[in-house]
Protein backbone atom coordinates (compact mmCIF):
# COMPACT_ATOMS: atom_id res chain seq x y z
CA UNK A 1 0.00 0.00 0.00
CA UNK A 2 1.55 3.27 -1.05
CA UNK A 3 0.93 6.52 0.79
CA UNK A 4 1.75 10.07 -0.13
CA UNK A 5 3.36 12.47 2.32
CA UNK A 6 4.86 15.91 2.01
CA UNK A 7 8.05 14.05 1.03
CA UNK A 8 6.33 12.26 -1.83
CA UNK A 9 5.12 8.66 -2.13
CA UNK A 10 6.56 6.09 0.27
CA UNK A 11 6.00 2.38 0.44
CA UNK A 12 4.29 1.49 3.73
CA UNK A 13 4.20 -2.28 3.56
CA UNK A 14 7.85 -2.90 2.73
CA UNK A 15 10.21 -4.41 5.28
CA UNK A 16 12.78 -1.76 6.13
CA UNK A 17 15.37 -1.53 8.88
CA UNK A 18 15.45 1.68 10.91
CA UNK A 19 18.85 3.10 11.87
CA UNK A 20 20.47 1.68 15.03
CA UNK A 21 19.92 4.91 16.97
CA UNK A 22 16.11 4.56 16.77
CA UNK A 23 13.97 5.72 19.68
CA UNK A 24 11.54 2.95 20.64
CA UNK A 25 8.07 3.34 22.12
CA UNK A 26 5.89 0.44 23.27
CA UNK A 27 2.15 0.86 22.60
CA UNK A 28 0.12 -1.31 24.95
CA UNK A 29 -3.29 -1.73 26.55
CA UNK A 30 -6.67 -2.47 25.01
CA UNK A 31 -8.91 -1.31 22.17
CA UNK A 32 -8.53 2.46 22.40
CA UNK A 33 -4.76 2.05 22.12
CA UNK A 34 -5.13 -0.53 19.35
CA UNK A 35 -7.34 2.00 17.57
CA UNK A 36 -11.00 1.99 16.63
CA UNK A 37 -11.12 5.44 15.05
CA UNK A 38 -13.01 5.25 11.77
CA UNK A 39 -14.16 1.65 12.28
CA UNK A 40 -17.71 1.24 11.01
CA UNK A 41 -19.27 -1.00 13.63
CA UNK A 42 -22.11 -2.50 11.63
CA UNK A 43 -19.89 -3.16 8.61
CA UNK A 44 -16.90 -4.37 10.65
CA UNK A 45 -14.49 -2.43 8.50
CA UNK A 46 -12.31 0.66 8.73
CA UNK A 47 -13.23 3.68 6.62
CA UNK A 48 -9.60 4.14 5.56
CA UNK A 49 -9.46 7.84 6.47
CA UNK A 50 -6.04 8.86 7.79
CA UNK A 51 -5.86 12.41 9.16
CA UNK A 52 -2.82 14.56 8.28
CA UNK A 53 -1.44 14.19 11.81
CA UNK A 54 -1.39 10.38 11.46
CA UNK A 55 0.16 10.11 8.00
CA UNK A 56 3.18 7.86 7.41
CA UNK A 57 6.65 9.37 7.47
CA UNK A 58 9.99 7.84 6.40
CA UNK A 59 11.38 8.28 9.92
CA UNK A 60 8.55 6.36 11.67
CA UNK A 61 8.69 2.56 11.82
CA UNK A 62 6.66 -0.22 13.39
CA UNK A 63 7.51 -3.74 14.49
CA UNK A 64 5.17 -6.18 12.76
CA UNK A 65 3.61 -9.24 14.36
CA UNK A 66 6.33 -11.30 12.67
CA UNK A 67 9.03 -9.13 14.26
CA UNK A 68 10.00 -7.31 11.07
CA UNK A 69 10.50 -3.56 10.93
CA UNK A 70 8.50 -1.64 8.33
CA UNK A 71 7.51 1.94 7.67
CA UNK A 72 4.62 2.58 10.04
CA UNK A 73 1.10 3.31 8.85
CA UNK A 74 -2.45 3.07 10.10
CA UNK A 75 -3.91 0.83 11.32
CA UNK A 76 -0.84 0.18 13.48
CA UNK A 77 -2.35 -2.81 15.29
CA UNK A 78 -3.98 -4.61 12.36
CA UNK A 79 -1.79 -7.70 12.73
CA UNK A 80 -1.57 -7.53 16.53
CA UNK A 81 -5.22 -7.06 17.59
CA UNK A 82 -6.03 -9.33 14.69
CA UNK A 83 -9.37 -10.71 15.92
CA UNK A 84 -10.93 -7.24 15.80
CA UNK A 85 -11.17 -4.52 13.16
CA UNK A 86 -8.56 -1.86 13.83
CA UNK A 87 -8.56 1.73 12.72
CA UNK A 88 -6.85 4.92 13.83
CA UNK A 89 -5.27 4.95 17.27
CA UNK A 90 -3.04 7.49 19.02
CA UNK A 91 0.29 5.97 17.96
CA UNK A 92 0.92 7.69 14.63
CA UNK A 93 -0.13 11.13 15.88
CA UNK A 94 2.21 10.59 18.84
CA UNK A 95 5.09 9.59 16.57
CA UNK A 96 4.59 12.57 14.29
CA UNK A 97 4.45 14.77 17.36
CA UNK A 98 7.86 13.69 18.69
CA UNK A 99 9.89 12.79 15.59
CA UNK A 100 11.37 16.24 14.96
CA UNK A 101 12.69 16.26 18.52
CA UNK A 102 13.83 12.64 18.93
CA UNK A 103 14.77 11.53 15.40
CA UNK A 104 13.81 8.08 14.15
CA UNK A 105 10.73 6.76 15.97
CA UNK A 106 10.19 3.00 16.24
CA UNK A 107 6.77 1.87 17.46
CA UNK A 108 6.11 -1.55 18.97
CA UNK A 109 2.33 -2.20 18.89
CA UNK A 110 1.16 -4.64 21.59
CA UNK A 111 -2.42 -3.63 22.49
CA UNK A 112 -5.31 -6.08 22.30
CA UNK A 113 -8.97 -5.06 22.62
CA UNK A 114 -11.19 -6.21 25.46
CA UNK A 115 -8.35 -7.13 27.82
CA UNK A 116 -8.36 -6.63 31.59
CA UNK A 117 -5.35 -5.64 33.67
CA UNK A 118 -5.08 -9.17 35.09
CA UNK A 119 -4.37 -10.39 31.55
CA UNK A 120 -1.29 -8.14 31.55
CA UNK A 121 0.16 -9.73 34.68
CA UNK A 122 3.59 -11.28 34.55
CA UNK A 123 3.37 -14.82 33.19
CA UNK A 124 0.23 -14.13 31.15
CA UNK A 125 0.46 -14.38 27.35
CA UNK A 126 -0.17 -10.70 26.60
CA UNK A 127 2.49 -9.58 29.05
CA UNK A 128 5.05 -12.11 27.89
CA UNK A 129 4.40 -11.28 24.22
CA UNK A 130 4.90 -7.58 24.97
CA UNK A 131 8.20 -8.23 26.77
CA UNK A 132 9.36 -10.49 23.92
CA UNK A 133 8.56 -7.84 21.33
CA UNK A 134 10.22 -5.12 23.41
CA UNK A 135 13.40 -7.16 23.79
CA UNK A 136 13.47 -7.93 20.07
CA UNK A 137 13.09 -4.23 19.23
CA UNK A 138 16.55 -3.41 20.63
CA UNK A 139 18.41 -6.34 19.06
CA UNK A 140 19.89 -4.17 16.32
CA UNK A 141 20.31 -1.05 18.42
CA UNK A 142 18.08 1.68 19.74
CA UNK A 143 16.66 2.56 23.13
CA UNK A 144 13.24 1.91 24.63
CA UNK A 145 12.15 5.38 25.67
CA UNK A 146 8.66 4.80 27.11
CA UNK A 147 5.58 2.64 27.29
CA UNK A 148 2.33 4.31 26.23
CA UNK A 149 -0.47 2.58 28.12
CA UNK A 150 -4.23 2.96 27.54
CA UNK A 151 -6.22 0.28 29.35
CA UNK A 152 -8.83 -0.08 32.06
CA UNK A 153 -12.26 -0.04 30.45
CA UNK A 154 -12.51 -3.80 31.06
CA UNK A 155 -11.87 -3.24 34.77
CA UNK A 156 -14.79 -0.88 35.35
CA UNK A 157 -17.63 -3.42 35.41
CA UNK A 158 -17.15 -4.77 38.97
CA UNK A 159 -16.17 -3.05 42.19
CA UNK A 160 -13.63 -5.79 42.90
CA UNK A 161 -11.76 -5.20 39.64
CA UNK A 162 -11.86 -1.44 40.07
CA UNK A 163 -10.56 -1.66 43.64
CA UNK A 164 -7.72 -3.91 42.54
CA UNK A 165 -6.68 -1.74 39.61
CA UNK A 166 -4.06 0.43 41.29
CA UNK A 167 -2.23 -2.51 42.84
CA UNK A 168 -2.31 -4.41 39.56
CA UNK A 169 -1.01 -1.40 37.65
CA UNK A 170 1.79 -0.80 40.12
CA UNK A 171 2.78 -4.47 39.81
CA UNK A 172 2.72 -4.18 36.02
CA UNK A 173 5.08 -1.19 36.11
CA UNK A 174 7.48 -2.90 38.51
CA UNK A 175 7.49 -6.15 36.55
CA UNK A 176 8.02 -4.67 33.11
CA UNK A 177 10.84 -2.46 34.36
CA UNK A 178 12.51 -5.46 35.96
CA UNK A 179 12.05 -7.75 32.96
CA UNK A 180 13.41 -5.15 30.53
CA UNK A 181 16.21 -4.17 32.93
CA UNK A 182 15.07 -0.54 32.72
CA UNK A 183 14.37 0.47 36.35
CA UNK A 184 13.39 4.03 35.44
CA UNK A 185 11.48 3.29 32.22
CA UNK A 186 8.89 6.04 31.68
CA UNK A 187 5.25 4.99 31.56
CA UNK A 188 2.68 7.39 30.13
CA UNK A 189 -0.78 6.10 30.91
CA UNK A 190 -4.13 7.42 29.78
CA UNK A 191 -6.94 8.05 32.26
CA UNK A 192 -10.13 6.55 30.89
CA UNK A 193 -12.56 8.42 28.69
CA UNK A 194 -15.20 5.70 28.97
CA UNK A 195 -16.21 2.71 31.03
CA UNK A 196 -19.09 1.11 32.87
CA UNK A 197 -20.23 1.32 36.49
CA UNK A 198 -16.95 1.87 38.32
CA UNK A 199 -15.10 4.08 35.85
CA UNK A 200 -14.41 6.80 38.43
CA UNK A 201 -12.67 4.32 40.74
CA UNK A 202 -10.32 3.26 37.96
CA UNK A 203 -9.75 6.86 36.90
CA UNK A 204 -8.94 7.79 40.50
CA UNK A 205 -6.31 5.03 40.57
CA UNK A 206 -4.83 6.15 37.26
CA UNK A 207 -4.71 9.84 38.10
CA UNK A 208 -3.52 9.19 41.66
CA UNK A 209 -0.52 6.93 40.98
CA UNK A 210 2.59 8.20 42.71
CA UNK A 211 5.25 6.07 41.07
CA UNK A 212 8.47 7.57 39.78
CA UNK A 213 8.47 8.26 36.03
CA UNK A 214 4.78 7.42 35.66
CA UNK A 215 2.67 10.26 34.31
CA UNK A 216 -0.97 10.37 33.26
CA UNK A 217 -2.84 12.19 30.51
CA UNK A 218 -6.60 12.48 30.87
CA UNK A 219 -8.79 11.41 27.96
CA UNK A 220 -12.03 12.38 29.69
CA UNK A 221 -14.06 14.70 27.49
CA UNK A 222 -12.57 13.54 24.21
CA UNK A 223 -15.21 12.68 21.64
CA UNK A 224 -16.54 9.13 21.71
CA UNK A 225 -18.10 7.17 18.90
CA UNK A 226 -21.77 6.19 19.04
CA UNK A 227 -20.86 3.13 21.14
CA UNK A 228 -19.82 5.49 23.97
CA UNK A 229 -16.69 3.41 24.43
CA UNK A 230 -14.20 4.11 21.65
CA UNK A 231 -12.59 7.39 20.69
CA UNK A 232 -13.35 8.90 17.30
CA UNK A 233 -10.58 9.38 14.76
CA UNK A 234 -10.14 13.05 15.64
CA UNK A 235 -10.15 12.27 19.36
CA UNK A 236 -7.39 9.73 18.77
CA UNK A 237 -5.34 12.39 17.01
CA UNK A 238 -5.80 14.75 19.96
CA UNK A 239 -4.84 11.98 22.38
CA UNK A 240 -1.71 11.17 20.38
CA UNK A 241 -0.70 14.82 20.55
CA UNK A 242 -1.37 14.85 24.31
CA UNK A 243 0.88 11.81 24.72
CA UNK A 244 3.56 13.48 22.63
CA UNK A 245 3.38 16.63 24.75
CA UNK A 246 3.65 14.53 27.92
CA UNK A 247 6.72 12.72 26.64
CA UNK A 248 8.44 15.89 25.41
CA UNK A 249 7.64 17.71 28.66
CA UNK A 250 8.64 15.03 31.15
CA UNK A 251 11.07 12.64 29.51
CA UNK A 252 12.65 13.82 26.26
CA UNK A 253 16.30 14.90 26.36
CA UNK A 254 16.59 18.68 26.58
CA UNK A 255 16.99 20.63 23.41
CA UNK A 256 20.59 21.54 22.67
CA UNK A 257 20.99 25.28 22.75
CA UNK A 258 22.56 26.88 19.71
CA UNK A 259 25.92 28.57 20.34
CA UNK A 260 25.63 32.32 20.53
CA UNK A 261 27.27 34.28 17.73
**Residues 7-32: tens digit of each pLDDT:** 333 344 556 889 999 999 999 999 99
Domain coverage including residue 177 = 2-250
Domain count, the chain: 1
Classify residue 258: in a domain, yes or no.
no
Candidate list 57, 73, 77, 230, residue with the active-site label: 230
Candidate list 47, 79, 140, 227, residue with the active-site label: 227
Contacts of 219 (CB under 8 A, 6+ apart): 32, 150, 190, 191, 192, 193, 231, 235, 239, 242
- Assign 254 a pLDDT band (cuts: 50, 70, 90): confident
* Annotation marks residue 218 as catalytic: no
Candidate list 28, 31, 154, 194, residue with the active-site label: 31
* Annotation marks residue 227 as catalytic: yes
pLDDT digits (tens, 9 = 90+) for 41-69: 888 899 999 999 999 999 999 999 999 99
Classify residue 257: in a domain, yes or no.
no
* Annotation marks residue 154 as catalytic: no
Please answer whether residues 135 and 181 qualify as being in contact, where contact means their C-beta atoms are separated by less than 8 angstroms: no
pLDDT digits (tens, 9 = 90+) for 102-141: 999 999 999 999 999 999 999 999 999 999 999 999 999 9
Q: For residue 72, is pLDDT > 50?
A: yes
Classify residue 80: in a domain, yes or no.
yes
Separation in Å, CA 84 to CA 44, 71, 124, 260: 8, 22, 20, 54
User: Tell me, what CATH number does 123's domain have?
Assistant: 3.40.50.1110
- Assign 164 a pLDDT band (cuts: 50, 70, 90): very high
Amino acid sequence: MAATTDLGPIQTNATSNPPPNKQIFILSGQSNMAGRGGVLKKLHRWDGVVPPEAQPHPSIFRLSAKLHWEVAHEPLHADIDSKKTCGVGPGMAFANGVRERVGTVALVPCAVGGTAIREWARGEKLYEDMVKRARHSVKDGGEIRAILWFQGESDTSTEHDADAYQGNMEAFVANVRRDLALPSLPIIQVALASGIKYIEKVREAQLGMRVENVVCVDAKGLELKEDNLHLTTQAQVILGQMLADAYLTHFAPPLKSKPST
